[in-house]
Chains A and B, each alone.
Chain A
Amino acid sequence: MRIEEMNLVPEMMYAGHNACPGCGAALAVRYLTKALGTNLAVVLTASCWSIITGMPPLTALKCPILHCPFPSAGSVGSGVRRGLNAKGMTDTTVVVLAGDGGTFDIGLQALSGAAQRNEDYIFVCYDNEAYMNTGMQTSSATPFGARTNTAPYPLFKEGQKKDIMQIMAAHSIPYAATATVAFPEDMEQKLKKAQEIRGFRFIHILSPCPPGWGTESADTIHLSRLAVSTGFFPLYEIINGVSWKLTCKPEGKRTPLKDYLEGQRRFKQMEDIRVEALQEEVDHDWESLMEKVETSEG
């Protein structure tokens, strides 16, 4: 069985890290480091993971980590890559790890620059849909209708979630993909595929955050699975910015978005009209994604 083989791969992460119970980001990085192997250098921008890995001299990963300032993830990654190349360590995989804040908002210009230069590393965004580490403030990755500490009741996040994948596709990078923690096999395949490709690669991982989303810590995987089956977070990959491919097609009809929103305190007391609006947005995005997938296939 596939899952048993995956479990036999050595762990690259230590138990005892500082993530909250049920943390999706901890799980995402655990799969990531397992998939990419031991010859790995991680560039870590300010995010939850800066805390999860522990205060120096502690570390949660069995590979070097370079902490860097919030907006600089893209540039520091480029520097590390070129430095390693200069030393002849071209086979070392460089991974830049950033949260949604360090990718969608504060880190966007450095990310865009690195993508435009087609720097040779993997940029991984683990997306928990707000600035969870600093106290759950709204980011441009926060979905419409969600309540955060900067948009408390009766306010809510207005405007839709930034479509980072389209931005990355517009940079015509060799590989971009979405992944989530309920589908470790899918995530592993995408990371392995990314590792084989040279140039700028982007992986967008949806990682549920129990305290930030206001969910039961046990529901992390369940929610991640629902995000895919509702079409809220489809799993796909984009090759060279033009070829779109769906990697996990929901069986039969998509689950209504209401199922996903229920049980998340950030969507509590969301008016029906807004739920419908969000459902329409998801439907629209899904259809436009399907169009792209079909055009690429045809």
Chain B
Amino acid sequence: MLPEITREEVCYACGTEPVTVNKTGEWRFLTPRRAESLSPCRQGCLLDGEIPAWMEAVKRERWDEAWQVMSRYNPFPALTGYVCFHPCTEECNRSQLDQEIEIPAVERAIGQWRLDNYSPKIKPQSFKGTVAVVGSGPAGMSCAFYLNSGGYDVSVFEREKAAGGMFALGIPEYRLPRRVLKSELTLLEDEGIKFITGCNIGKDISLAELYADFDEVFLAPGAWKSRIAGIKGEKNEGVWSALDFLKLYNSGERLKIADPVIVIGGGNAAIDSARSALRLDGVTHVTLIYRRSRAEMPAGQVEVEAAEHEGVELICNALPREINAEAGAVSSMILDHCRTDREGLFIDQSCAFNKSCGTVIMALGQEKDYSIFDNLESPAALFAGGDLVTGPATVPEAIHAGRIAAKAIMARIEGLPEPELFKAEQGAVKFEDLNLAAKGTLKLQNKQAAPFAEASRCLGCGTCNSCGICYMFCPDLAVDMVDGRYELNMDYCKGCGICFRECPSRALVMEGGR
């Protein structure tokens, strides 16, 4: 509450009474109500993250609060800050004013704060249940995190030597520094999550055994089966699948491949392979071949541009016909021109061309591998997520699946109803809805140091960030300050609507009646 002058301080000897006895709220025929609405960044976010809320916390240098808000939807901001392609920034309303907010920078800063300021929590005496997580990639890590915070004993099984799944083996170092992943995994271990690496479920232990030993099992082994082209010569030495190549490259082993390199494909794995290959000793020339036009590449445009900038040669509208080999090793490749339109792919075999190569990396996409379910009698409940379910998808989608699975598993073990998920019911706040004139009154101080500078630029669309405009402009003193938040006081609100009209972020609505 506000510091209020008490009766003792004000002289009422003459018998004067404050007007507070008049409950002017009775005059009202329109009522303002706080109703936070969807921000475009949250609408774009694959994790449903409450972006304006943690932006606000960073702006006020409340790091702990920022982490609390962040971890409700994203437990690994340090990782997603690097690897997510951030559709949130594309939707940002600020882009209509000057430039969109650099959301990943702030996200990384929160992640780094968490890694720097972490202290292990007190281990619980007893657990609510035991859960096995198969796969330690984004989905498995996320599920383990939420189960662990919910008081469960979690064991994560990983078939490779190192934990991290796609984070560790699929994404190259230049996109995600390994020290960040290492800190994140150490942190999870400190929290009490057990990582069992080098254990292939289905071979070393059967899935049925897991179901017998644990209360619930979450399956997130990913989609690690590479698609094959089915062209002549692809069995030769020097032909790699992108996943095998990236796995070996990212495991830190010294890798030697012959120059020049041809990468086939247009997805993120193709770009990652091309850029990684260029970083190897002895490789001077990398060519990327894609069957459609450049604009149709599934890889992020930023990634494509970065690859070109680094010197990767791009050949679009070309399709490999066959791979030639000399003495068992790849020597060249015959390519056809092709074009695609609505009716399909047209191969023009009249003007094939030859390209010499020492290595071919096939990045034609991955497939879901259901062999894990072999010999499994149907369990009472099956929880699965990540690439196994969706096919090759993105890191945030996998993290999202892990979170939802964790909530569902906890609800099942505790016998609670299924958890309600965030659902965007209305459209996002539009730029025109924001009251930027009131923003001028706020005179946002742009501190120069990042990440405050970025966070301060956030317009907070649809989110009450306690800016104080409603309090400032209320003629009837019908807005109270309660613990730094502003609450509408219906005893005195006359329903003039100034707060609604002036709210810079559209976090209020006016409703008919009292």
CA distance A3 to B443 in the complex (A): 9
> In chain B between 438 and 475, which residues have their CB closer than 8 angstroms to a CB of chain A?
438, 441-445, 467-469, 471-473, 475
| Contact residues of B between 375 and 413, Cβ < 8 Å to A | none
**B28 to nearest A CB, angstroms?**
8
Q: Which residues of A contact B468 (CB under 8 A)?
A: 1, 3-4, 6-7
- Contact residues of B between 21 and 54, Cβ < 8 Å to A: 21-24, 27-28
B502 within 8 A of A: yes
Question: Are B23 and A16 touching (Cβ within 8 A)?
Answer: yes
Interface digits, A64-95 against B, CB 8 Å rule (1 contact, 0 not)?
10000000000000000000000000000000
Contact indicator B22/A221 (Cβ below 8 Å) = no
Q: Which residues of A contact B492 (CB under 8 A)?
A: 15-16
Contact of B496 among A7, A63, A182, A217 (CB under 8 A): A217
Nearest B residue to A53 via CB reads B19
Bound-state CA distance A8–B17 (Å) is 24
C-alpha gap A183/B88 in the complex (Å): 34
Q: Are B21 and A21 in contact (CB under 8 A)?
A: no
Any B CB within 8 A of the CB of A22: yes
Of A12, A19, A54, the residue contacting B476 (CB under 8 A) is: A19
B: interface residue count bin? 35 or more
Q: Which of A77-125 contact B (CB under 8 A)?
A: none
A129 → chain B closest CB, angstroms: 17
A1 vs B22: C-alpha distance when bound (angstroms): 33
Q: From A4, which residue of chain B is reached at the shortest CB distance?
A: B468
Given known contacts A19-B476, A22-B475, A182-B441, is B19 in contact with A221 (CB within 8 Å)?
no
Chain A residues positioned under 8 Å from B475 (CB to CB): 19, 21-24, 26-27, 30, 220
B3 at interface by CB-CB < 8 Å:
yes
CA distance A183 to B502 in the complex (A): 13
Write the nearest CB–CB distance from A53 to chain B, whole angstroms: 7
Q: Write the chain B residue with the least CB distance to A54.
A: B19
Knowing A21-B494, A21-B496, A22-B496, the reply to whether A185 touches B22 (Cβ < 8 A) is no
Q: How far is the CB of A167 from chain B (nearest CB, A)?
A: 29
Binds A, one of B8-16, B116-124, B125-133, B172-180: B8-16
Residues in chain A near residue B491, CB distance under 8 A = 15
**Cβ B473 vs Cβ A15 within 8 A:** no
Contacts of A210 in B (CB 8 A): 496
Q: Cβ of A285: which chain B residues have Cβ within 8 Å of it?
A: none
B437 at the interface (CB under 8 A from A): yes
Q: Is the CB of A16 within 8 A of B19?
A: yes
In-complex Cβ contact of A225 among B20, B437, B477 (8 A)? B437
List chain B residues, Cβ under 8 A from A14.
18-20, 477
Judging by beta carbons under 8 Å apart, are B476 and A7 in contact?
Answer: no
- The chain A residue with its CB closest to the CB of B5 is A62
Q: Does A10 contact B (CB under 8 A)?
A: yes
Q: A184 at the A/B interface (Cβ < 8 Å)?
A: yes
A159 CB within 8 Å of chain B: no
Measured between beta carbons, the chain B residues less than 8 angstroms from A30 are 475, 477
Docked CA distance A48–B244 (Å): 82
Q: Collect the chain B residues with CB atoms within 8 Å of residue A185's CB.
A: 441, 443
Residue B489 interfacial (CB < 8 Å): yes
Q: Is B76 in contact with chain A by the CB < 8 A criterion?
A: no
Given A10-B2, A59-B16, A217:B472 Cβ within 8 A: no
Chain A CB within 8 A of B500 CB:
yes
A105, B22: Cα distance in complex, Å = 33
B19:A184 contact, CB within 8 angstroms: no
Does A220 contact B496, Cβ atoms closer than 8 Å?
Answer: yes
Report yes or no: B16 in contact with A7, Cβ–Cβ below 8 A.
no
Q: What does the 1/0 interface line of B57-95 toward A look like (CB < 8 Å)?
A: 000000000000000000000000000000000000000
Cβ contact of B495, chosen from A21, A26, A57, cutoff 8 A: A21
What residues of chain A lie closer than 8 Å to B469, measured between beta carbons? 3
The answer to whether B441 and A22 have CB atoms under 8 Å apart is no
Query: Is B477 a contact of A221 with CB atoms below 8 Å?
Result: no
Q: A13 interface residue, CB < 8 Å from B? A: yes
CB distance from B118 to the nearest CB of A (A): 30
- Tell whether, in the assembled complex, residue A17 and residue B501 are in contact, meaning their CB atoms are under 8 Å apart: no
Bound Cα distance from A54 to B14, whole angstroms:
15
Rounded to whole angstroms, the CA-CA distance of A134 and B129 in the bound complex is: 75
Q: Quick check: is A288 within 8 A (CB to CB) of the other chain?
A: no
Q: Which residues of B contact A206 (CB under 8 A)?
A: none
Q: Which of B9, B21, B481 contacts A58 (CB 8 A)?
A: B21
Chain B nearest CB, measured from A247 CB (Å): 14
Mark contacts of A46-63 with chain B using CB atoms, 8 A cut-off: 1 yes-contact digit, 0 otherwise: 000000011011111011
Quick one: CB contact mask for A175-211 with B, threshold 8 Å, 1 for yes? Answer: 0000001111100000000000000000000000010
Cβ of B478 under 8 Å from chain A: yes
Answer whether residue B497 sits at the interface, using C-beta atoms and an 8 A cutoff.
yes
- Minimum CB distance partner of B15 in chain A: A57
Q: Compute how far the CA of A19 lies from the CA of B478 in the bound complex, rounded to whole angstroms.
A: 13
Q: Is B476 in contact with A15, judged by CB distance below 8 angstroms?
A: yes
Closest 5 interchain pairs by CB? A218-B497, A22-B496, A21-B496, A217-B496, A16-B22
List 17 A-B pairs, Cβ < 8 Å.
Answer: A3-B441, A10-B4, A11-B4, A14-B19, A14-B477, A15-B489, A16-B19, A16-B22, A21-B475, A21-B497, A58-B16, A60-B18, A181-B473, A217-B496, A218-B496, A220-B475, A220-B496
Interface on B for A, CB 8 Å cutoff?
2-5, 9-11, 14-24, 27-28, 437-438, 441-445, 467-469, 471-473, 475-478, 481, 489, 491-492, 494-498, 500-502, 510
